[in-house]
């Protein structure tokens, strides 16, 4: 680790390595993305559900799944105006918020999380992004790799090992000792 370049800022931890690779770990509250979309689009929950469905309203994972599955070919002259508008908005959100994924998008499932991985580490992209969602909130993992290939490339088994090791730590109340 390169302690001088590693940083913690609120829910974000950036760990730099002497090799030049960097690991980003951050957390976010449940429905963070859904709430942001509703706020920015000025949609109330009922209108949001009407446009995108119950599954998309219930969780960031559900919304992201709907967004990733949206394609321009679903918007035709034969769909209702409501479905056309919803599809266009999903495509807009997809274009703005989706990480680069030239080498693929993959589904992730663990006992406590479900989500998506953007990029295949075998293609040696500059970054691999994993977005994990649960009812309690979510986690972003980003593996930044040196593109000049002078540092060892991260492998999918290494990413899987990290993802499988993530679990919620129970909140423990700290005992405060009274001064004597």
Residue 129 lies in a domain: yes
Print pLDDT tens along the chain (180 aa). Answer: 889 999 999 999 999 988 888 999 999 999 999 999 999 989 899 999 999 999 999 999 999 999 999 998 988 888 888 889 888 999 999 999 989 999 999 999 999 999 999 999 999 899 999 999 998 999 999 999 887 777 778 899 999 999 999 887 776 644 444 455
C-alpha 27/C-alpha 122 separation (Å) is 26
Counting the structural domains of the chain, the total is 1
Residue 108 lies in a domain: yes
Residue 151 lies in a domain: yes
Angle at 120 between CA 118 and CA 26, to 5 degrees: 40
Which domain, by its residues, includes 24?
7-165
Q: What is the pTM of this model?
A: 0.83
C-alpha 121/C-alpha 82 separation (Å) is 39
């Amino acid at each position: 680790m390169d302690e001088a370049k590693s940083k913690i800022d609120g829910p974000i931890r950036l760990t730099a390595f002497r090799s030049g690779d960097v690991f980003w770990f951050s957390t976010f509250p449940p429905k963070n993305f859904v709430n942001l979309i509703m706020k920015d689009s000025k949609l109330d929950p009922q209108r949001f559900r009407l446009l995108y469905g119950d599954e998309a309203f219930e969780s960031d994972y559900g919304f992201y799944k709907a967004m990733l599955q949206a394609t321009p070919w679903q918007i035709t002259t034969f769909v209702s105006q409501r479905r056309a508008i919803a599809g266009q908005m999903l495509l807009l959100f997809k274009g703005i918020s989706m990480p680069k994924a030239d080498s693929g998008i993959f589904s992730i499932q663990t006992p406590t999380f479900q989500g998506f991985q953007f990029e295949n580490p075998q293609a040696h992209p500059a970054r691999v992004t994993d977005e994990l969602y649960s009812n309690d909130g979510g986690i972003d993992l980003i593996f930044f790799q040196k593109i000049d290939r002078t540092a060892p490339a991260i492998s999918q088994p290494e990413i899987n090992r990290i993802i499988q090791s993530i679990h919620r730590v129970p909140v423990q109340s700290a005992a405060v000792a009274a001064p004597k």
